[in-house]
Amino acid sequence: MAKATNTSTATTAKAATKRTRTAAETEKIRKALVARRDALQNEYDESLSEITELQRDRLADSAGDDQADAGTKTFEREQEITLANNLLERITQVERAIERLGEGNYGWCERCGNPIPVERLAAFPSATLCVTCKQLEERR
C-alpha cells in the first residue's frame, strides 16, 4: 500500500567500477609470466654452470698464467656473475608479478587505470604503466 519509493539504489551503482579481468585473460597472463620465468630460470642455470666452469679453469691453470691472462679470466667471470645476478633479479620480478596476479591487483596502469595488454606484461613483467602513459612519462 505504502509507496516503496526507493532512493538507496542510486548510491550502490557508483561503487561497482571494480577492476576485473576475465578468468581466461588472467590465465593467459599467468601462462605468459610462467613461461617467462622458466626461460629466465634456464638462462640463469646456464649462467651458473658457466661461472662454475670459469672458476674451475681459473683454479686449474692459473699457476701458468701471466698477469694479463688471469686478469681476462677474472673479468670474464665477473661479467658472468653480473649477468647471473641480473637474471636472478628478473626472475624475482616475474615471481612477484605472478603473486600480484593472484591477488588481482596486477596489470593495471598506475596512471590511467586501464588494463595493461598481456603482450606488454609478458615482455615487461614489472611494467606498471600502459604504453601510452609510459610514452607520456618519457616525453616529459
Smaller CB separation from Zn ion, 81 or 115 = 115
Residues that bind Zn ion (CB under 5 A): 109, 111-112, 130, 133
Smaller CB separation from Zn ion, 51 or 121 = 121
Rounded least distance, CB 109 to Zn ion, Å: 3
Rounded least distance, CB 114 to Zn ion, Å: 5
Rounded least distance, CB 88 to Zn ion, Å: 29
Smaller CB separation from Zn ion, 51 or 125 = 125
Rounded least distance, CB 112 to Zn ion, Å: 3
Task: Quickly list DSSP for the chain.
Answer: -------SHHHHHHTT------HHHHHHHHHHHHHHHHHHHHHHHHHHHHHHHHHHHHHHHGGG--HHHHHHHHHHHHHHHHHHHHHHHHHHHHHHHHHHHHHT--SB-TTT-PBPPHHHHHH-TT--S-HHHHHHHHH-
